Structure 1
Amino acid sequence: MSSLRHAENKSLWVVRELGLPAIVKTCVDCGHTRHHATGKVRVNANGKQLDVWLLIGCERCDRTSKIPVHERVHVSALNHARLVRFEDNDAAIVRELVHAQRKLDWTGTWELETDLPFYDIDNAAELEVFVRFELPVPIRLEKLLTRGFGLSRPVLKRLVDAGRITLPTKVDARVRGDFSFQSRGPNNQAPGPFGSSEK
């Protein structure tokens, strides 16, 4: 846990990575749509031309498929160090190639680590929360906050509407990168519509 925990009314939440997202692609054998990276990249040379594919496996029937990374590219056009990483099935390269896919299913890929099970939002002073993402998973902000504070959706909405929680975007928007927000106790609310604190 970070030394930022509760230091000067500050807290750190971290969206931890549990695994790579599934790639959404219809399997030609069974029709299932969830595939996982096998951890391997295939490089095929034809003279000075190279083909590079990311290998993925169907979650249901284990059929292996290929996703093109480079097709008929001249060997001189690829950075040598990057080519070596392809050939070595470098885990960071595999992760990068998976995250670059257009259609991903992020189910089961993350968890939220906070220091707030004992945080009493009804009686606490102002708190600034920093949210850090280990992976660019798109999460509905409402889901992140209900999980982080242990609140129901109706209670969260009331707190946001009352200015007790101040957000950088709409509560039903999706976030996927680092941000911060503020939470205030009942005597530390945001200014109301006429510039005075709501009682």
Structure 2
Amino acid sequence: MNDFRSTRVPADGGGADRKALWFIREVGLPAIVRSCVSCRSTRHHPTDKFRVNANGKLLDVWMLICCDLCGRTSKIPVHERVHVQSLDHELLVRFENNDPALVRQLTLDAALAGRSSYRLDWTGTWELETDMPFYDLEGDDAAPLEVVVRFELPAPVRVEKLLTAGFGLSRAAVRRMVDSGRIHLPMAVDAKAREDFTLFVTT
């Protein structure tokens, strides 16, 4: 990653393109937003544990979450009434051992959130990491720039916010450069991205 980001314009001022890597680094898991049955809070976080219940040859698997305010534990169904032979043995062992990677995977799972009627709050879950040095993007002699944006977690990040943070520009300046064609994006500037993409700044 550091080798990629260290690509710079030649010292003699030549016209070689610049490259940079922006990394959406994970700093925490999203909050699980659903009403607590014991208090008025709606924010929960995983307890890092699963509960597996066997009834004959049928299994139920739940992810346990905890209310941030009162501490009440509740369950999110991951598998319900599935035949024991239909669940991969290695996966079952991971549930039984409270595999941290599996907890993270399911906490980030938007499809599971949709099935279980809760939403994810991504506030405070990411930060932008880049060591790209400053140069005047709005200058007429600015060298072309290619920026690869990579996501460590699928947090929905508004593209405009990403550009203002990465380039150190105002919203108005970002909008002006996008509208003029100086910044080329694979999506609308007011869209939310959650997967890797590449943007370009032209002269």
Could you tell me the TM-score, scaled by structure 1's length?
A: 0.89
> In the TM superposition, what is the alpha-carbon distance from 1:116 to its structure 2 partner?
2.5
Closer, same or farther: CA 65–117 of 1 in aligned 2, 3 Å: farther
Assess if the C-alpha contact under 8 Å between 2:5 and 2:132 holds in 1.
Answer: no
> In the TM superposition, what is the alpha-carbon distance from 1:47 to its structure 2 partner?
2.0
Is 1:135 the counterpart of 2:153 in the alignment?
A: yes
Assess if the C-alpha contact under 8 Å between 1:117 and 1:149 holds in 2.
Answer: no
Q: 2:100 aligns with which of 91, 102, 117?
A: 91
Cα offsets for 1:108-137 (capped at 9, x unmatched): 100000123523313430000000001111
Q: What SS class does the counterpart of residue 4 from structure 1 fall into?
A: helix
Unaligned runs of 5+ in 2: 8-16
Query: Alignment identity in percent?
Result: 63
Instruction: Determine the structure 2 residue equivalent to 1:43.
Output: 52
Counterpart CA distance in 2 for 1:60 and 1:156 is 39
Counterpart CA distance in 1 for 2:52 and 2:135 is 52
Instruction: Determine the structure 1 residue equivalent to 2:89.
Output: 80
Counterpart CA distance in 1 for 2:135 and 2:94 is 45
Is 1:20 the counterpart of 2:29 in the alignment?
A: yes
Instruction: Determine the structure 1 residue equivalent to 2:13.
Output: none
Counterpart CA distance in 2 for 1:41 and 1:169 is 38
Counterpart CA distance in 2 for 1:168 and 1:127 is 15
Instruction: Determine the structure 1 residue equivalent to 2:3.
Output: 3
Could you tell me the TM-score, scaled by structure 2's length?
A: 0.87
Amino acid aligned to 2:103? V
Instruction: Determine the structure 2 residue equivalent to 1:157.
Output: 175
Counterpart CA distance in 1 for 2:168 and 2:38 is 43
Is 1:68 the counterpart of 2:77 in the alignment?
A: yes
Instruction: Determine the structure 1 residue equivalent to 2:121.
Output: 105
Amino acid aligned to 1:15? I
Once superposed, what is the RMSD of the aligned Cα atoms?
Answer: 1.3
Is 1:114 the counterpart of 2:130 in the alignment?
A: yes
Q: Extract structure 1 runs of 4+ deviating beyond 6 A.
A: none
Report the number of matched residues: 185
Q: 2:166 aligns with which of 131, 137, 148?
A: 148
Instruction: Determine the structure 2 residue equivalent to 1:169.
Output: 187
Cα offsets for 1:13-41 (capped at 9, x unmatched): 00001111111111011121111011111
Closer, same or farther: CA 119–37 of 1 in aligned 2, 3 Å: farther
Amino acid aligned to 1:37? P
